[in-house]
Amino acid sequence: MSGRHSILALPSTAPDATDFLWATGIEDTFISRPDPRTKRILDEYALTQHYTHWKEDLELIASLGVPATRYGIPWYRVEPRAGEFDWSWTDPVLETLVNTHGVEPIIDLMHYGTPEWLAGSFQNPDYPARVAEYARAFARHYQGLCYWYTPLNEPRVNAWYAGRLGWWPPYGHSWKSFAAVLVAAARGIVETQRAVAQVEPEAVFVHVDATDLYKTADATLVEETTLRQELVFCALDLVQGKVEDAHPLHGWLRTHGIPVETLDWFLHNNVRPDIIGYNMYPMYSEKHVRRGKGGGIEVKIKKCWVETFVELTRMYARRYGLPVMCTETASNGPPARRIRWIEDTVQAVNNLRAEGVPVVGYTYWPLFSLVAWPYQRSHLPLENYLIDMGLWNLRPDPQDASKLRRIPTQAVEAYRRVVREPVEKLRG
């Protein structure tokens, strides 16, 4: 790959020296193992036809005027067999993104899912070494072209779907399995960052996880609610070596099968990201803990708005003392609602920066409609699972229903408008 310096200035822990980073991204979940019942895989690039429309999609990204985009790499496709790499698709895509459009890719090395050949997925004992080998090979191949990296997107959500809900490999259905997947994912993040940094000393690391804000009106559930809130931060805390004996989750992890030697490993092998990325959606990110009719604990999603966005942003900045970036956000619903979300959250970012909260970036995600994850577990047609929360909507072409057209909404111009406007200078 041709060499260059990063298009973007490297981040600094001194907020005044950090430029604001606008970005977008294409939903890029890659669950390559077919669902046991439906035999469907969940590759969003295939389902949204990005593999065939990538040139058009990169032009849409560039048309927004954003300097960066989060961009996922389908690990299972670039390493179809252990130790054998195929860059034939990613080469022209990344070259075009950087050298034609001047957009910096923030590479998602993993955005859910491991290759089928890795038996047991995250619970394979070789997972951390295998993912690091893949990361090292990628960084070496794209040295001088790609500088910004997310080792693994949303480790907690990976652990939930793969370890607790049982939708994805290794199909766990317990808190013990959740803990095992989460710890394995966290170790993989550490090994990935080390591998990339050895190859690319200028690499910038953006660690990303999903936000949740847990609340309860039941005094008997305060302890449970606090535990759920701590679990939101567990992977980020592990990676940074914060889960020592006094940590609120140290005992919980031990109780759920994580050996003390494993936890100690993170204390001695931790890595520090340059930026903490958080993903927040008003239709998912606020959870209320309550008693169900049978007396059991229920967690219900409550739709929220910008106040929750602000509270979570402050929470991440305060907890980690690092620059923070909103790495995914959007509202579903009609374009008018999406526009209002853009305008309200960008105003909130300006207010937060005026307070001195080091918010250094904002990502409207996704670029266009995504396919809801239950599609993989269903036999219904794809059109039933298109979620319109992007700047463009996806619709079957009237002339050829097998093709998905990218239909612009009014949210496209709304995002272009905020990207052009100056952002409040950070106050130290």
Q: For the segment 116-146, what is each residue's pLDDT rounded down to a tens digit? A: 999 999 999 999 999 999 999 999 999 999 9
Q: What is the pLDDT of residue 401?
A: 78
Q: Has residue 428 got a pLDDT over 80?
A: no
In tens, the pLDDT along 327-379 reads 999 999 999 999 999 999 999 999 999 999 999 999 999 999 999 999 999 99
B/e letters for 30-43, b = 16+ CB within 10 Å, e = fewer, are bbbbebeeeebbbb
C-alpha–C-alpha distance, residues 276 and 313, integer Å: 10
- At 305, the pLDDT band (50, 70, 90 cuts) reads very high
| Nearest alpha-carbon partner for 226 in 210, 244, 247 | 247
Range of lowest pLDDT (50-64, 164-178, 362-376, 394-408): 394-408
What domains appear along the chain, each with residue ranges and CATH number? 15-420 (3.20.20.80)
Give the mean pLDDT of 40-45.
Answer: 98
Q: Has residue 12 got a pLDDT over 50?
A: no
| Nearest alpha-carbon partner for 11 in 277, 345, 355, 214 | 277
- Residues 195, 132: contact at Cβ < 8 Å? yes
Give the mean pLDDT of 301-324.
Answer: 97
Q: What is the pLDDT of residue 47?
A: 98
Provide the β-strand partners of residue 19. Answer: none
